[in-house]
Amino acid sequence: MITVLAGGVGAAKFLDGLAAVMPPEEITVIVNTGDDAHFHGLHVSPDVDTVLYTLSGLVDQEHGWGVAGDTFHCLETLRRLGEDSWFQLGDRDIALHLRRTRRLREGATLSLATQELCAALGVGCRILPMTNAPAATRLRTPEGMLWFQEYFVKLGQRPEVLEVDLAEAAAAQPAPGVLESIAETEAVILAPSNPFISIGPILAVEGIREALRNTRAPVAAISPIVGGKALKGPADRMMKSLGLDSSAASVAELYRDFVDLFVIDLEDAALRGEIENKGMPVLVTQTVMSSSNARKDLARTVVDGVRGRT
Amino acid sequence: MITVLAGGVGAAKFLDGLAAVMPPEEITVIVNTGDDAHFHGLHVSPDVDTVLYTLSGLVDQEHGWGVAGDTFHCLETLRRLGEDSWFQLGDRDIALHLRRTRRLREGATLSLATQELCAALGVGCRILPMTNAPAATRLRTPEGMLWFQEYFVKLGQRPEVLEVDLAEAAAAQPAPGVLESIAETEAVILAPSNPFISIGPILAVEGIREALRNTRAPVAAISPIVGGKALKGPADRMMKSLGLDSSAASVAELYRDFVDLFVIDLEDAALRGEIENKGMPVLVTQTVMSSSNARKDLARTVVDGVRGRT
């Protein structure tokens, strides 16, 4: 059994590789829900969706999110009706949100609605939202406090992030199975996701960081920063605006209290000493997942590496 | 001012003609909501939608309902997720349902949500749902009690209708403006809609039939039965299974207590005497709306005819 903490696109690619090199049924994924939001009355859970679409093979490979070949006729009509349309919702994508929203209104938890979607889409991994409670991430910026999706999509990640407000996540209880899946697993892997807005909200949920510190399973983390740059998204700029160096070593520092193996890219091999000096063993490998084989290779290498820490 | 009682496709065509021959702002439409239903958590109001799509020019001319050129990617995906998909919902159509459903959940009445949709779609007529309360029509058939859409769409109108249950409509209050629009108008016109499942539910709502009896405005009704057949839908078969002759004269009989002018097609000219013997003046004209001009001609003829009854 392997437990993975996951954000969106980078995590989904890693999981895609992982599910190809071990039985999906042995993988539990704890997914960030800090960027969940409501659009047009629909409960959208972007990181869960990206993981579901990727693992079911439906994903739009070019964007890394959404459904391949999707159309936007509903959204265009909503715009015509005067509705906000800055959040991209494809017609096929909306089906999934309708299904989830209906189940939530019927009283199902997000956990159960997600489990049902896994079954409907033939996804073998166990996907757990980090919490079933509201846990919206907010960002303090020079333009004021913003909801995650306002910052990320509406404003295209342009505002400088001065603070990440995870108060809602900190007040939320983990979803059923989350703490157990950390305590009773063979290994935990933090996927290469943004440490502030993807992994950070998961760690903020009550008891999760402590469970990671206390688990007897080894914990590995894969740096989302390669050569000082985020492979996708604003992690590098956020690190700077939050007062850190944009480097894999800074990410390692954020996880120092519970990570047993830190995975960096070949390009960052020179950082090995700096990170090991923090007391964290380092695994240097190709972390950029530019092909299906690269995803599998990374998954295999990290699993082997973290198992070796037992 | 003209007030029209309306069901779906036939009514929408008539209204299209009417709005072309008089200022739309002078037209109030009271629309059947007995076939409203929930699909995938969306509040769908089929007759209101057909009127909105027709008057906004968006309608699929071939079917008479839905949006021209619409796609069904969302519905296909819902089917893939294991959801019922017998009720056709196009991607563009879903936008309207999302907007309505959101507003209803926010506490808006169906009247207000409809008024907002009119504004967003540039529809000048005043569209009033018959009631803001639930008023679901049910049908007793050999296959048991069916909700309207189960009978109409899921089972393709095949079961024999033994009884039309309008108990919910009978317990519902009319929406604001409905009774006033009957009492204070220049004329009332019953569009050529099914008397049992389109006009019937409107007449069943508390106070509406009485308002039609009491208004000083003349009331005209256009027969939806021509040559013994329904132009669209199951009205003719329903008349028989409910123990009536399938003829315009039978429809006239149903409205005898409040109609001042009954409009029949040229094809039914021979029925004039029979209907006039019931005490209802008859207008014989071309009622089949096979072209845009035919819609306008019918509207002009009926408006002139009913105004002449004042």
Q: Which residue in chain A is spatially nearest to B70 when comparing CA positions?
A: A73
Nearest by CB to B120, from A75, A81, A95: name it: A81
Q: Cβ of B41 and A82 within 8 Å?
A: no
**Close Cβ partners of A96 (under 8 Å, ≥ 6 residues apart):** A49, A52, A117, B77, B81
Residue indicated by tokens 């196009």: B90
CB atoms within 10 A of CB B119: 12
Q: Are B173 and B206 in contact (CB under 8 A)?
A: yes
Structure confidence at residue B58 (pLDDT): 97
Q: Which residue in chain A is spatially nearest to B116 when comparing CA positions?
A: A81
- pLDDT of B139-166, one tens digit each? 999 999 999 999 999 999 999 999 999 9
Q: Cβ of B95 and A117 within 8 Å?
A: no
Q: Cβ of B120 and A76 within 8 Å?
A: no
Q: Cβ of B92 and A74 within 8 Å?
A: yes
Cβ contacts of B67 on chain A, cutoff 8 Å: 77
Q: Are B259 and B221 in contact (CB under 8 A)?
A: yes
Half-sphere exposure of A200 (CA within 13 A, CB side): 23
The domain covering A2-34+128-307 belongs, at the CATH homologous superfamily level, to: CofD-like domains (3.40.50.10680)
SS3 content of chain A, % helix, strand, coil (to 5): 45, 20, 40
CB atoms within 10 A of CB B62: 8
Task: Name which of B264, B110, B274 is nearest B190 in CA terms.
Answer: B264
pTM: 0.94
Task: Name which of B32, B245, B61, B9 is nearest B137 in CA terms.
Answer: B32
Among A98, A101, A104, most B C-beta atoms within 10 A, so best to mutate, is A98
Q: Are A307 and A218 in contact (CB under 8 A)?
A: yes
| pLDDT tier at B232, thresholds 50, 70, 90 | confident
Rounded distance between C-alpha atoms, residue A263 and residue B54, angstroms = 61
Task: Name which of B196, B249, B186, B197 is nearest B219 in CA terms.
Answer: B186
Q: Which residue in chain B is spatially nearest to A116 when comparing CA positions?
A: B81
The domain covering B2-34+127-307 belongs, at the CATH homologous superfamily level, to: CofD-like domains (3.40.50.10680)
Structure confidence at residue A112 (pLDDT): 98
Cβ contacts of B122 on chain A, cutoff 8 Å: none
Interfacial residues of B (vs A; Cβ cutoff 8 Å): 40-42, 67, 70-71, 73-78, 80-83, 90-92, 94-96, 98-99, 101-102, 105, 117, 120-121
Q: Cβ of B81 and A120 within 8 Å?
A: yes
Q: Name the average pLDDT for chain B.
A: 96
CB atoms within 10 A of CB A171: 14
Show me where the domains of chain B are located. 2-34+127-307
Residue indicated by tokens 């540039």: B122
**Close Cβ partners of A132 (under 8 Å, ≥ 6 residues apart):** A109, A110, A111, A173, A175, A176
Q: At what angle do helices B46-56 and B110-121 cross, to 10 degrees?
A: 20
Q: Cβ of B41 and A105 within 8 Å?
A: yes
Nearest by CB to A99, from B67, B81, B101: name it: B81
Two structure tokens written together for B109: 């009445």
Q: Is A177 exposed, middle or buried (0-12, 13-18, 19+ CB in 10 A)?
A: middle
ipTM: 0.93
Two structure tokens written together for B103: 């507003």
Nearest by CB to B74, from A91, A102, A105: name it: A91
Q: Cβ of B99 and A42 within 8 Å?
A: no
Rounded distance between C-alpha atoms, residue A199 and residue A209, angstroms = 11
DSSP state of A99: H
Q: Is B310 exposed, middle or buried (0-12, 13-18, 19+ CB in 10 A)?
A: exposed
Rounded distance between C-alpha atoms, residue A174 and residue A266, angstroms = 35
Rounded distance between C-alpha atoms, residue A253 and residue A239, angstroms = 12
Task: Name which of A232, A242, A250, A244 is nearest A290 in CA terms.
Answer: A232
From first to last of the 310 residues of chain A, give the pLDDT tens digit: 999 999 989 999 999 999 999 999 999 999 999 999 999 999 999 999 999 999 999 999 999 999 999 999 999 999 999 999 999 999 999 999 999 999 999 999 999 999 999 999 999 999 999 999 999 999 999 999 999 999 999 999 999 999 999 999 999 999 999 999 999 999 999 999 999 999 999 999 999 999 999 999 999 999 999 999 998 889 999 999 999 999 999 999 999 999 999 999 999 999 999 999 999 999 999 999 999 999 999 999 999 999 988 7
Q: Cβ of A71 and B71 within 8 Å?
A: yes
Two structure tokens written together for B286: 């071309």
The torsion defined by the Cα of B117, B119, B123 and B127, in degrees rounded to 10, comes to 60
Q: Cβ of A96 and B102 within 8 Å?
A: no
Q: Are A135 and A188 in contact (CB under 8 A)?
A: no
Q: Cβ of A95 and B102 within 8 Å?
A: no
Structure confidence at residue A301 (pLDDT): 98
| pLDDT tier at B231, thresholds 50, 70, 90 | confident
Rounded distance between C-alpha atoms, residue A253 and residue A282, angstroms = 13
Q: SS3 of A261, please?
A: strand
Task: Name which of B134, B145, B194, B141 is nearest B169 in CA terms.
Answer: B134
Q: Which residue in chain A is spatially nearest to B68 when comparing CA positions?
A: A73
Cβ contacts of B91 on chain A, cutoff 8 Å: 71, 73-74, 77, 91, 94
Q: B114: distance to nearest CA of chain A, Å?
A: 12
Residue indicated by tokens 């071939």: B62
Q: SS3 of B282, please?
A: strand
Q: How many residues does chain B have?
A: 310
Q: Determine the residue type at B279.
A: G
Task: Name which of A201, A189, A310, A202 is nearest A259 in CA terms.
Answer: A189
Widest pairwise Cα distance in chain B: 58
- pLDDT of B106-144, one tens digit each? 999 999 999 999 999 999 999 999 999 999 999 999 999
Rounded distance between C-alpha atoms, residue B171 and residue B180, angstroms = 19
